[in-house]
A and B are shown apart, each in its own frame.
Chain A
Amino acid sequence: MDNLYEPLRQYLQQLATQGDLPLSFQYGFVVNALLCALFIGPLLGAVGTMVVTKRMAFFSQAIGNAAMTGVAIGVLLGESYTEPYVSMFVFCLLFALALNFTKQNSNLSADTLIGVFLSISLAVGASLLLFVSAKVNTHILEAVLFGSVLTVSDTDINILILVSVLVVAIGGPLFNQLLLTSLNPSLAAARGARVKLLEYIFVIIITVLTVACLKIVGAVLVEALLLIPAAAARNVISSMRGFVFLSMAIATISCFAGIMIPMEFDLPIPSGGAIVIVAAMFFIATTLIALLSSRYRGAGL
């Protein structure tokens, strides 16, 4: 498995030493990071449009935080603390399903409920993780929150690609129904959508995507990439096609730029932070564009 991406890395390294590509490509870890960005960018950018439309930003954050507990449990159960994928997936899925079930069957408003789950998962997860870290003497908490895109392993890449294929295969054909459900659930149901099931499927998609990206870019960054590119695109676009594609483009460019720029210019900024900064710049730019062309936008009010 380790040699699957090696030919690609060597080829790119060669191009770098020849001067056809930036020098950073010499480093295998940079190529790995960019390979991940190629999947994470478009995927989070596309799924993010649905998260923003369905107002589930808060929900996805709760799942990201639940991962801390998942990792802690994984370490306690003896999984490797760099790749506790089984317990992360299992715990986060259970958490997400419990949250969605409660949301569908409770009288409390969604944001109250999610806030409660999020606070509990944050507190329990952080405590457990710190307890566990002390035993193994590493900074797991930071790794979960901020990831470490420059230390991805081939296993991480494999899981990411697998999850990407699953999300596209399952989520793609359901996109229209998901969107229609948020406009009028009754109409969606009349047109054949299984509304409650779709909610669960969407929650599962967010969860597996979050867990797959978590090790690479961290919980905070997954959240940022789900929201900021979609929000930036929404400022200036008025059709679904433009919305989804621009969001994917912004997310991908942000990932690439955030990885390459600190490397090329020797800046002491972690790549996760740089990615968010680039995405934020897109958001500020599109917000300004929207404000300045408000005489056009005004008709929509």
Chain B
Amino acid sequence: MSTVHKALADTPGPALQLQQLSLSLGNTEVLQDISFAIKAGEVHCLIGPNGGGKTSLLRCLLGQMPHRGSIAIDYAQASVEAQQLTGYVPQQLHMDKTLPLTVNDFMAIACESRRPVFFGMSSAGKSISEQLLDRVGLGANKRRRPVGSLSGGERQRLLFAQAMIPRPSLLLLDEPLASLDQGGVQQIIELIAECSAQGTTIVWVAHELSLVKEVADSVSCISRQLHATGPVEEVLNNMDPDILYRPVSDYIEVEHG
């Protein structure tokens, strides 16, 4: 956070180094030769047009994609007690809206892996889960509601909550604010700021440039290729804003045209 004083973190998250990261899915080249670095404990935003490969890049960081090139996640700066935990906030859940899964149930299946959800959460798990649900704005009256009946914004808050248990050292966010109202945005930004103050490295796919200016330390613009990377002021001041709106295939045509 460029404008917020960051306390010296005890347990900084990892530094990341991407070298010539490329990804092809089927016949499509999704990412081409992407190289940039993220410092330990930084808040790094990924911006770019839809379909530009930002979500795929996050999934490469999770090790879920058959990418070429290298991704080095370096925990060297972390203290010995630090656990190498990655929290992931996906864009959405592909669920049947009528599935009998309550908010509490969802936290149980996401956060308690061995104890079957129909036995309820352990009391320790339950109290942590409830605290977090309160922080993200899902109060007690929402806890027994089926996830399918939540609004888009409420579901996003739920997805954010599960990423916080346990507190991650690397947090990957895929458009966590997309469906949120102003109050929701504030709540989630506060939580992200808190994580960042504790030293978590944050990689965040974002659409709202105003927020990016406010919260990010550095930013990369991805549209199949890396178009810019660096400290947030520098990149946003020098960037052609059209990049964010031009569809990916258009851009490539211009390149070769």
Contacts and interface: CB of A to CB of B under 8 A. Distances in A.
Nearest to B165: A191
A180 B109 contact: yes
A173 B119 CA distance: 11
Contacts of B148: 300
Interface of B: 59, 62, 64, 86, 88, 90, 92-102, 104-106, 108-110, 112-120, 144-146, 148-149, 159, 162, 172
A267 interface: no
17 contacts: A173-B116, A176-B109, A176-B116, A179-B109, A180-B109, A183-B93, A183-B95, A189-B64, A190-B62, A190-B172, A237-B100, A239-B100, A240-B101, A240-B109, A244-B118, A245-B118, A300-B149
A183 B94 contact: yes
Main SS of the interface on chain A? Answer: helix
A217 to B, nearest CB: 24
A137 interface: no
Interface range on chain A: under 10, 10 to 19, 20 to 34, or 35 or more? 20 to 34
Given A180-B109, A238-B145, 8 more contacts: A176-B109, A191-B110, A238-B144, A240-B101, A240-B105, A240-B117, A245-B118, A300-B149
A164 to B, nearest CB: 16
Contact of B105 (A187, A234, A239, A299): A239
Interface string A183-194: 110110111110
**Which 5 residue pairs spanning A and B have beta carbons closest together?**
A190-B88, A176-B109, A175-B116, A244-B118, A243-B100
A53 interface: yes
A148 interface: no
A241 B120 contact: yes
Contact of B117 (A190, A191, A234, A241): A241
Contacts of A241: 105, 117-120
Contact of A300 (B62, B98, B110, B117): B98
A240 B100 contact: yes
B110 A173 contact: no
A177 interface: yes
B117 A179 contact: yes
Nearest to A301: B97
Contacts of B102: 238-240
